[in-house]
Amino acid sequence: MLTDMFDLTGRIALITGSSQGIGLALAKGLAEAGATVILNGRDQAKLDSAARSLVEQGLTVETAAFDVTDRAAIETTVGAIEARHGRIDILINNAGIQRRMPFIEFPAEVFREVQTTNVDGVFFVAQAVARGMIARKAGKIINICSVMSELGRANIVPYTAAKGAVKMMTKAMCAELGRHNIQVNGIGPGYIETELNTALMADEKFSAWVEARTPAGRWGKVEELAGAAVFLASDASNFVNGHIIYVDGGLTASV
């Protein structure tokens, strides 16, 4: 049946940056589709709280605390997960940070902080997980991009640089890993109601601009990203590779 193609029962999914916001919503979506989800973040207490919220809903969840900028910790943790479960079937690279200030005022260390988390983290986690996927000739990697992978906006130049890099990494990883039956795709959220965007949502002028600029006329909700994630994580997307699905209410399609 067609619905069976979206069934993730028995799959093992690692989702970085999933103690809150978009990452947690994606974790809930994949777990509801049957996957065993491993939540990741730097704060064990936040991870435990997030895991409890999903377990209370009858979902199968574990935690793995590590910093995506720490390559040694990534290698150790990925190895431990594979030793325990035998594999990682699905990786969602969601961990990321945002810093806002005028372009000419960005300190070098803040620029590097954004790149290290948003670009290096994606590269090194995917690299560690892809080794096992290549050996098994199967895997799904989903990189969380952004509408800023395509568009620019004032005061977030390092973030747009990082998300543009993640888009192109997604395409290059597809080109290299596709022959191993590994699908590498991305999701580009639009303006979503998350903790990361609290200040923007509270700015009435900016929020009105978002609603006017987005054809759907509103901010997106985190749960509206789950469908794209389940699709890209499932057998339904076995011949979909190197694409970015923009879940943005039409923002990138309009002027």
The yes-or-no answer on residue 159 being catalytic is: yes
Q: Which of 66, 124, 159, 191 is catalytic?
A: 159
- Cite the beta strand spans of the chain per DSSP E: 12-15, 36-41, 61-65, 90-93, 139-144, 182-189, 244-247
Q: Is 34 helix (H, G, I), strand (E, B) or coil?
A: coil
**Cα dihedral sign for 225, 113, 197, 166?**
negative
Q: Rounded distance, CA 213 to CA 193, Å?
A: 16
CA angle centred on 30, ends 58 and 77, rounded to 5°: 95
Residue 238: alpha-carbon gap to chain centroid: 19
DSSP H helical ranges for 37-152: 44-55, 71-85, 108-115, 121-136
Task: Find tokens 């994949």 and name the residue.
Answer: 30
What does each C-alpha distance from 18 to 47, 155, 172, 188 come to in angstroms?
8, 26, 25, 16
Catalytic annotation, residues: 159
